[in-house]
Amino acid sequence: MLLPRFELHRPSSVDEALTIAARHAGDCDFIAGGTDLLQNYKNRLNPRGHVVSLLGIDALQELSPTRIGALTTLARIEESETMRRELPILVEAASKVASPLVRQTATLGGNLLVETRCYYFNQSEFWRRSKGYCLKAEGDVCLVVPQKETCYAAFSGDMAPALMALGASARLKSLDGERIVKLTEFYEGDGIKRYVLRPGELVQGVELPPSATSLRGAYRKLRLRDTFDYPELGLAVTLGMEGEKIRELHVCAAAMETVPLCFDDLTGSLHGQPLSDSLIQLLGERIVKRVKPVKNTALSPNYRRKMVMVYLRRMLEQLATAGN
């Protein structure tokens, strides 16, 4: 498939990138590894006339347990001994993204901003035209839940829930300056809006609280094939124990809705309680009741919801014993 024509810019600093983006405001995308953006461009999904590559910005390459630059590739995270020791949940999540080949170029920043997915959206121009397009690109009605306001495309990035569960924040920069937004507050809106990032603003990386390394964490991913596939459910759980009692517990999920979900409002009240089977059961039921996947991926919404419970229980049991 042929890419549409665009002008490629290669700045070497964040400020330069922001200036170029501002100059072409409204007709411009950033690109990092391109593993997501270029396929969408080939499908003529909202392509722009200007593309600003971030790959020449060395400042965004850092990798430590407290700061990860947006350009850090998932392969680097996966292979890092330090990360494996300090934050194994991120290594686990990174190693489950796409395929080894894609992870060589896929970046963390791109993963946080990966386009939401839907059977009716991730199609060629020919395909979409034959269906009359949809809300998310060129059309005015949703083909999954027929109405004209909301897009239900699923957020399908694997890193976001894992980072959220560690309490990470995104470091954003625009010509107006820098700001730091907790990942739990970064994502909002439907499958089209998705996040609070403003036009022309870029992600420099993420920041993690030093205490994150004290949490036990696990990431599991539901999908038909154990490689290549996007998550049908991506569940991240982090747990801190004080003796037999829960000190801290976070559960976050990808691929259930248009944004990654964090259930701190359900887990917060459990702090101080022992991690019992009945607690896990109750928490699972509450989460399952909360999530509302729709029918736009390979596995059925009903099944995906059911698996939240199974995964949650297995992961908590694993984390509970991991500490002993």
Binding site for ligand FAD (CB under 6 A): 29-37, 39, 54, 70, 74, 97-98, 102, 105-107, 109-111, 113-115, 156-158, 202-203, 228-230
Partner from other proteins, ligand SF4, ligand FAD, none contacting 303, C-beta within 5 to 8 A by type: other proteins
CB of 134 to ligand SF4, least distance (A): 3
How many residues form the binding site for other proteins (CB under 8 A)? 29
CB of 109 to ligand FAD, least distance (A): 3
* Contact status: 12 vs other proteins (CB under 8 A): no
Contact status, residue 107 vs residue 71, Cβ threshold 8 Å: yes
Contact status, residue 256 vs residue 293, Cβ threshold 8 Å: yes
Distance CA 231, CA 156 (A): 6
Distance CA 157, CA 256 (A): 11
CB of 203 to ligand FAD, least distance (A): 4
Cα 4 to Cα 8, 119, 274, distances in angstroms:
12, 22, 57
Partner from ligand FAD, other proteins, ligand SF4, none contacting 134, C-beta within 5 to 8 A by type: ligand SF4
The secondary structure element, H or E, covering residue 284 is helix 277-290
Strands 177-182 and 50-53: unpaired
Question: Which residues have a Cβ under 8 Å from the Cβ of 222 and sit 6 or more positions away?
Answer: 231, 232, 233, 234, 235, 255, 299, 304, 307, 311
* Contact status: 129 vs other proteins (CB under 8 A): yes
Contact status, residue 50 vs residue 20, Cβ threshold 8 Å: yes
Six token digits for residue 126: 């020919």
Residues in contact with ligand SF4 by the rule CB under 6 A: 118, 120-121, 134-136, 142-144, 151-153, 191, 296
Among 140, 226, 272, 324, binds other proteins (CB under 8 A): 226
Among 12, 13, 147, 302, binds other proteins (CB under 8 A): 302
CB of 239 to ligand SF4, least distance (A): 33
What are φ and ψ of residue 289, in 5° steps?
-65, -30
Among 30, 41, 120, 133, binds other proteins (CB under 8 A): 120
Partner from other proteins, ligand SF4, ligand FAD, none contacting 157, C-beta within 5 to 8 A by type: ligand FAD
Residue 191: name the closest of 233, 142, 240, 263 by CA: 142
Name the amino acid, one letter, at 151.
Answer: C
Partner from other proteins, ligand SF4, ligand FAD, none contacting 121, C-beta within 5 to 8 A by type: ligand SF4
Residue with tokens 């996947």: 293
Distance CA 49, CA 21 (A): 11
Residues in region 163-182 near other proteins by CB under 8 A: none
Binding site residues, other proteins, CB under 8 A: 1-2, 119-120, 122-124, 126-127, 129-131, 143, 222, 224-230, 298-300, 302-303, 306-307, 310
